[in-house]
Amino acid sequence: MYVKVDLCNASDGRLYIQPSGVVQVEAAVQFADAQCFTSLDGASYVLTGSLQTPVTLEPTWTGGAFSTAQPAAEDLAGVVHLSGGLSSSSDGVFEEFVLPPQLRPGKAVVLPISLCDGANGGMSITTDGVAVVYGVGLNHTGPACFTSPDGVTFAR
């Protein structure tokens, strides 16, 4: 799984967590940013298991990208935890998936998310459960290349 983290000077980065437990830090631009500082504050993930509810993917999206788990969500004490990995065959602003009714936010939420090569992106989820992911700045192809909801949470 890939979990978004902050590096030196607020640079983009992520943790690559392998099934063996080995963790690597990846920097979006320069590895020197990871060597300078890697913040683990707020980094979290849910273990893949049978308690997670699969999400409904939109037509151009494929789950399990780069050997990650299929996209899923779980409500733990009123906090929804997202997991898995996705990729797509199209570019731009993306409607990726729809959450089941019991996992939808009471108000629309906007969340940070990790994209291809550790770049930052954003995810908005409406009260209808529709999740749209977009690249930050000029990064319009990042969501299609890879989107990692691992570690993304919101209060219901």
Q: Go through the domains of the chain in sequence order and give each one's CATH number.
A: 44-155 (2.60.40.2460)
Pairing of strands 2-7, 12-17: antiparallel
pLDDT of 36 = 92
Quote the distance between the C-alpha of residue 123 and its chain's center: 8
DSSP string covering 48-87: --TTSEEPEE-TTEEESGGGPPPPEEEEETTEEEEE--EE
Three-state DSSP state, 44: coil
Residue ranges in the chain modelled with pLDDT below 50: none
Question: Is the model's pTM score more than 0.85?
Answer: no
pLDDT of the residue at 82: 93
Share of the chain above pLDDT 70, in %: 92
Q: What are phi and psi of 155, to 5 degrees?
A: -80, 135
- The tokens 């990208």 sit on which residue? 65
| Residue corresponding to tokens 């690249």 | 135
**Six-digit token pair at 58?**
């939109």
pLDDT at 49: 64
pLDDT at 128: 96
Looking at residue 116, its pLDDT comes to: 84
What are the two backbone dihedrals, phi and then psi, of residue 36, each rounded to the nearest 5 degrees?
-65, -50
**3-class DSSP state for residue 18?**
coil
List CB contacts of 102: < 8 A, sequence separation 6 or more: 53, 75
Question: Which residue in 92, 91, 86, 98 sits closest to 125, CA to CA?
Answer: 98
DSSP bridge pairs for 14: 4, 26
Q: According to the model, what pLDDT value does residue 104 have?
A: 96
The length of the chain is 156
